[in-house]
Amino acid sequence: MQIKNIDTLMKSLTELFEQNKDNSERVKIDEKFKDEVRNRVMLNNFPVKDAESKEVSILLSDLRGFTAMSEKYSPLSIIELLNRYFSKMSQIIYKYGGTIDKFMGDSIMVLFGALDNTSSDIAPTLACAIEMQMAMNEINAISRYLGMSNLYMGIGINTGEVVAGTLGSEVYREYTVIGDQVNIVSRVEAQSLRGQILITENTYNKSKDFIEVGDVNEVHVKGKVKSVKMYELLAISKPERLEVPRREIRKSPRVEVNIPLNYYLIEHKVISPEQYKGKIIDISYGGLYINTDQEVQPFSEIKMKMSLSLMETDSSEIYARVLNCKKINNHYESHLEFTAIDDSARRAIKAYVDNLI
């Protein structure tokens, strides 16, 4: 942490120590004292700054399948995992000149160009995102050694005008950004799949001379009249060539099947109580091709109960993102990619696919 006003901080902490001395000149260290020290450090690290409009790039990352994992392992194991994850990501973010705005559960919001002494160049933002995805291999290697499941990260990036300034009160305040561009990056990140980096049209236009992109999608997001165009970032050539790691599940073989499917729609992270039925007509290590009577919206998420009796295990709950949906005769066919799946179901699906090849 870089303290911006060291003289004021030292004076404030000296006064605090004097106030908490007892008759033996010892300082009483309790939770209240610790909270006060933390607050004074925070207040000196984030001095009050007038609100101003400026162009920034915002990177928002989120772990896929983390909620399901947190139900499977002890709170201590989850905290240790998050600390490993945050520690590694923080090193990469600071390497590229980013400023961590906040940790939100398992999400990280990062700003580029928000502070006076940081660059607004888009290249470090994109390089940072790719290296963060590359670092997931190291984090997952440690998790596997400890007997834990792999984690996957989705990242959204947007560039635009925001209002930056100090927000809060005398008790707690922070330097942050607000505005429509912040809302957009949140919507874009929510559409990203495991291991994917999605950038907005604003970011694409400022970086198209040195990046490679894959699929381009337009989706209608909450709060926006017009659809939002999103590009999948694959590689950059500036400041050096970096490629987004290609996930194994995207290279998976697919086999035709006929497996019954029960599923629930998810809206705003709330699972609907109504159960729908369909069937799986194609399966791979990382996703499904399904046939349903109801239309499912592209980029929506569903929770499914998939019968794995053919794979010698019980029915498993799996979460998946809808990539596309098209009407064929009186039915709908959709491609899905898993967003959360436990290890036993993952192994069973892989074994089943391998046996049918």
pLDDT value of position 52: 80
Cα separation, 96 vs 199, whole angstroms = 18
Q: What pLDDT score does 300 carry?
A: 85
pLDDT given at position 116: 60
User: At 218, which helix (H) or strand (E)?
Assistant: strand 211-219
* Confidence (pLDDT) at 47: 53
Measured CA to CA, the distance from residue 3 to residue 13 in angstroms comes to: 13
pLDDT, position 2: 45
Q: Which two tokens stand for residue 83?
A: 């600390």
Place of tokens 């035709």: 256
Say yes or no to pLDDT of 318 above 60. yes
Highest mean pLDDT among 4-18, 172-186, 310-324: 172-186
Taking CA atoms, 172 is separated from 51, 179, 187, 188, in Å, by 17, 21, 28, 29
pTM score: 0.70
User: 219 near 299, Cβ under 8 Å?
Assistant: yes
Residue 54, classified by CB atoms within 10 Å of its CB into exposed (0-12), middle (13-18) or buried (19+), is middle
Run of H or E including 30: none
The reported pLDDT for the residue numbered 59 is 96
Same fold, 52-246 and 249-356: no
> What percentage of the chain reaches a pLDDT higher than 70?
78
Q: List pLDDT tens digits, range 142-151.
A: 988 988 888 8
Q: How confident is the model at residue 314 (pLDDT cuts 50, 70, 90)?
A: low
Higher per-residue confidence, 214 vs 165: 214
Residues across the chain:
357
Lowest-confidence pick of 36-45, 81-90, 316-325, 332-341: 36-45
Q: Where are the domains of the chain?
A: 52-246, 249-356
Work out the average pLDDT over 5-20.
60
C-alpha distances (whole Å) from 139 to each of 136, 145, 146, 342 are 5, 10, 11, 18
Interval 21-42 mean pLDDT: 58
CATH number for the domain whose boundaries are 249-356: 2.40.10.220
Other residues' Cβ atoms within 10 Å of the Cβ of residue 126 = 30
Homologous superfamily (CATH) for 52-246:
Nucleotide cyclase, GGDEF domain (3.30.70.1230)
